[in-house]
C-alpha cells in the first residue's frame, strides 16, 4: 500500500515536472522563426529595436541566435535556423552556390573602424587601414584579433593580407587572438590598451571603452555589407520557408529599411539600409 | 571599482520586469532539471549503494568522476544530438527551454546519484544489521534507506541546484541565449559583460546570488521544520 502510494506520488511529480518543462513550448501558438545572426547585430541593440516592429506588422515572432558569421552559417547549414543574417559577402555567396539557400538579399551596411589607445604608440591615426596595420606590426603594438571566423575576423585577415605582410611570420606576443565575440574582444582591448578592428555599431553601443578611441575610419575598404538568406527548404524540409521569407521581404521593404535607418545610439545612425545593392 | 559598485546599486533599484522573467526562466529550468535529476539520480544512487554486483566499484568510480563533467561539453554533445542534422533533430528541441532542462538534467544526475550513494551507504553501515534481519530485497532496502536519510538528501539536492543554476556552458550552447526565450541569469550576465555594461552585469549577478541564497534558506527552513515535525 505504502509503495503504491509512493509510486503514485512520484508519477504525479514526474508529470508535474514534465508539464512545467513543456508548458511554455505548447503555450506559444504564434509562429516563430529562428534567425542565425552575428554578435554585432545583437550586441549593437539593433534587433531589440527592429524585431518588435516586424512582429507587430506580421504576427511572426523572431528568435535570434547570435554567433560569429562563420558559426551562424554553419548553424544554418545544419538546419538549426530558418534565416541567416550575416556580414561576409564571399562566404554568403559560397553558401548560396552550395545550395544552402537560393538567394542572397543585401540588406544594409555599416562600417568597420580601427580603434586603439588615445596616445597611439604606433602612430596609426589618420592612416588608411592597411597602412595603420603595417605601423602596428612594425611597432609591435598590442593588437586584439577576434580569431573566431566571424565577418569582422575575415575582414581583418583580408586587410592584413593587403599589407603584404605574412601575418603568420610577423605575429608575436603583441597579436592577441581571443577567439570570442566583438564585446569580449573590445573588453580585452580596453583592458590591455590594444588596437583592434570593430564594427561601428558595436563600438557605439559599447560602454567599457577605457582609453580607446577611433583612430582610422572612413576608408572605403572598411565598408561592411550585411546580407540575409532563407535556408533552402529543399535541404531542410522543416524550415519555415513562408514565415522566413516574410521576414526577409519585410527587411528589404520600405518599412523595414526605414526601421533600420531609424535605429540610433546617441543620435548616431548605426546601420545604413541598401537593399537595392548587389 | 567603487564607481562600478555605486552604479550597480542604482541599476539594482531600476531592474525592469525583463530581469524578473529571466530569473524566472533560470529557476524554472534548474528546478525542472533537479526534479528530473532527483527522480533518476536518487533511486540510482541508492540501488548502487545497497546492491552487490560485479563491476560495482567501477560504477561507483564512474559516478564520482561524472560529478566533474564539464557543462560546456555536455552542452556540445546535446547540441549535436538535438541539432536538426543530429539523431533527435526531428524533435525541434534545440534553442528551447526543454533542451536546457535536458542538458542540466544530464549535469545533475551524476552529482545526485553519487551523493545519494554515499549518504545511503553510510546509513546502511549504521543500520545494516537491523535491515538484514528484516529479510528485505534490494529495492525495499533502498526505499527504506532513502526515507531514513531524506533530510541529508536535501543537502545533495541543494548542491545539484547550485551547480545547475550557476552553470553557463550548457545552457548557452543548447539554448542559444535568445532574448525573451532562452536567456537565463548566467547567459544574461555574460552578454552584458560582453557589451561592456559591467554595472548591469554585476547587478544581475547580485540578483542571481540573492536567488540562490533564498532557495537555500527556504530549503533549510523546510528541512528543520520537517525534522521537528516528522523526524
Of B36, B97, B194, the CB nearest to A24: B97
Cell of B94: 534545440
For residue A35, what are the β-bridge partners? Answer: A64, A83
Flag whether pLDDT at B163 surpasses 90.
yes
Number of domains in chain B: 1
| pLDDT interval class at B12 (50, 70, 90) | confident
Given a cut of 50, whether residue A129 has pLDDT beyond it is: yes
pLDDT for A78? 95
pLDDT in tens, A186-233: 999 999 999 999 999 899 989 899 999 999 999 999 999 999 999 999
User: How many other CB atoms are found less than 10 A from the CB of residue A84?
Assistant: 28
Residues of A in contact with B31 (CB under 8 A): 20
Rounded mean pLDDT of A97-124? 96
Domain containing B176 equals 2-230
What's chain A's average pLDDT? 89
Is the pLDDT confidence value at A4 over 80? Answer: no
pTM: 0.83
Scan for cell 564571399, then name that residue: A90
Q: In the prediction, which pLDDT does A116 show?
A: 97
With residue B125 as reference, give the H or E element that holds it.
helix B97-133
Please judge whether B195 and A80 are an interchain contact, meaning their C-beta atoms are less than 8 angstroms apart.
no
Residue A142 phi, psi dihedral angles, 5° rounding? -55, 130
Q: Are A62 and A54 in contact (CB under 8 A)?
A: yes
Please tell me which of the candidates B96, B176, B196 has its beta carbon nearest to residue A183: B196
C-beta atoms of B176 and A190 within 8 A:
no
Name chain B contacts of A183, Cβ cutoff 8 Å: 191, 193-196
The pLDDT score that the predictor gives to residue A25 is 46
Cβ of A64 within 8 Å of Cβ of B179? The answer is yes
Alpha-carbon gap: A232 to the closest alpha carbon of chain B (Å) = 14
Read off the pLDDT band of A5 (50, 70, 90): low
- B176 and A65 within 8 Å at the Cβ level: the answer is yes
Q: How confident is the model at residue B133 (pLDDT cuts 50, 70, 90)?
A: confident
Residue A23 has pLDDT above 50, yes or no: no
Residue B176 has pLDDT above 70, yes or no: yes
Instruction: Name the residue of chain A whose CA is nearest to B85's CA.
Output: A78
Task: Please report the ipTM that was assigned to this predicted complex.
Answer: 0.78
Name the residue with higher pLDDT: B195 or B23: B23
Which residues in chain A are contacts of B95 at CB distance < 8 A?
Answer: 34, 63, 65, 80
pLDDT score of A13 more than 90? no
Nearest CB to A80 within list B39, B84, B97: B84
B181 contacts in chain A (CB < 8 Å): 63
Residue B124 belongs to domain with CATH number? 1.10.3720.10
Per-residue model confidence (pLDDT) at position B2: 76
Q: Taking residues A74-91, report their average pLDDT.
A: 96
Closest Cβ opposite residue B28 in set A14, A20, A236: A20
Give the pLDDT confidence of B79-92 residue by residue, as tens digits.
999 999 999 998 99
Instruction: Tell whether A181 lies on the interface with B, counting CB pairs under 8 A.
Output: yes
pLDDT of amino acid A224: 92
Amino acid at each position: 500500500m505504502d509503495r503504491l502510494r509512493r509510486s503514485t506520488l512520484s508519477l504525479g511529480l514526474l508529470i508535474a515536472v514534465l508539464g512545467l518543462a513543456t508548458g511554455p513550448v505548447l503555450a506559444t501558438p504564434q509562429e516563430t522563426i529562428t534567425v542565425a545572426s552575428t554578435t554585432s547585430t545583437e550586441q549593437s541593440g539593433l534587433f531589440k529595436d527592429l524585431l518588435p516592429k516586424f512582429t507587430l506588422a506580421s504576427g511572426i515572432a523572431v528568435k535570434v541566435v547570435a554567433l560569429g558569421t562563420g558559426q551562424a552559417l554553419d548553424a544554418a547549414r545544419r538546419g538549426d535556423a530558418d534565416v541567416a543574417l550575416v556580414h561576409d559577402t564571399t562566404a554568403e555567396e559560397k553558401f548560396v552556390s552550395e545550395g544552402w539557400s537560393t538567394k542572397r538579399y543585401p540588406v544594409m551596411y555599416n562600417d568597420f573602424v580601427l580603434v586603439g589607445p588615445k596616445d597611439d604608440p604606433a602612430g596609426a591615426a589618420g592612416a588608411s587601414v592597411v597602412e595603420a596595420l603595417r605601423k602596428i606590426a612594425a611597432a609591435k603594438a598590442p593588437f586584439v584579433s577576434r580569431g573566431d571566423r566571424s565577418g569582422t575576423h575575415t575582414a581583418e585577415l583580408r586587410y592584413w593580407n593587403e599589407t603584404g605582410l605574412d601575418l603568420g611570420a610577423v605575429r608575436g606576443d603583441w597579436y592577441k587572438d581571443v577567439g570570442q565575440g566583438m564585446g569580449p574582444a573590445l573588453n580585452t582591448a580596453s583592458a590591455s590598451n590594444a588596437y583592434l578592428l570593430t564594427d561601428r555599431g558595436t563600438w557605439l553601443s559599447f560602454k567599457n571603452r577605457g582609453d580607446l578611441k577611433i583612430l582610422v575610419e572612413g576608408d572605403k575598404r572598411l565598408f561592411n555589407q550585411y546580407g540575409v538568406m532563407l535556408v533552402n527548404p529543399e535541404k531542410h524540409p522543416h524550415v519555415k520557408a513562408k514565415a522566413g521569407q516574410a521576414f526577409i521581404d519585410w527587411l528589404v521593404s520600405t518599412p523595414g529599411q526605414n526601421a533600420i535607418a531609424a535605429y540610433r545610439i546617441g543620435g548616431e545612425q548605426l546601420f545604413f539600409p541598401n537593399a537595392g545593392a548587389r | 571599482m567603487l564607481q562600478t559598485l555605486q552604479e550597480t546599486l542604482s541599476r539594482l533599484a531600476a531592474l525592469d520586469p525583463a530581469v524578473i522573467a529571466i530569473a524566472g526562466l533560470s529557476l524554472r529550468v534548474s528546478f525542472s532539471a533537479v526534479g528530473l535529476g532527483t527522480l533518476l539520480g536518487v533511486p540510482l544512487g541508492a540501488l548502487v549503494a545497497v546492491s552487490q554486483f560485479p563491476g560495482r566499484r567501477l560504477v561507483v568510480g564512474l559516478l564520482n568522476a561524472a560529478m566533474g563533467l564539464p557543462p560546456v561539453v555536455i552542452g556540445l554533445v546535446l547540441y549535436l544530438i538535438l541539432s536538426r542534422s543530429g539523431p533527435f533533430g526531428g524533435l525541434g528541441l534545440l534553442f528551447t527551454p526543454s533542451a536546457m532542462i535536458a542538458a542540466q538534467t544530464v549535469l545533475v544526475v551524476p552529482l545526485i546519484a553519487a551523493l545519494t550513494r554515499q549518504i545511503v551507504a553510510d546509513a546502511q553501515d549504521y543500520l545494516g544489521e537491523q535491515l538484514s534481519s528484516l529479510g528485505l530485497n534490494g529495492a525495499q532496502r533502498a526505499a527504506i534507506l532513502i526515507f531514513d536519510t531524506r533530510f541529508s538528501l536535501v543537502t545533495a539536492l541543494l548542491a545539484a541546484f547550485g551547480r545547475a543554476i550557476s552553470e553557463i556552458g550548457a545552457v548557452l550552447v543548447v539554448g542559444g541565449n535568445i532574448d525573451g526565450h532562452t536567456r537565463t541569469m548566467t547567459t544574461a550576465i555574460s552578454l552584458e559583460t560582453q557589451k561592456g555594461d559591467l554595472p548591469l552585469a554585476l547587478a544581475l549577478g547580485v540578483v542571481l546570488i540573492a536567488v540562490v541564497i533564498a532557495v537555500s534558506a527556504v530549503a533549510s527552513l523546510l528541512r528543520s521544520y520537517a525534522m521537528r515535525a516528522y523526524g
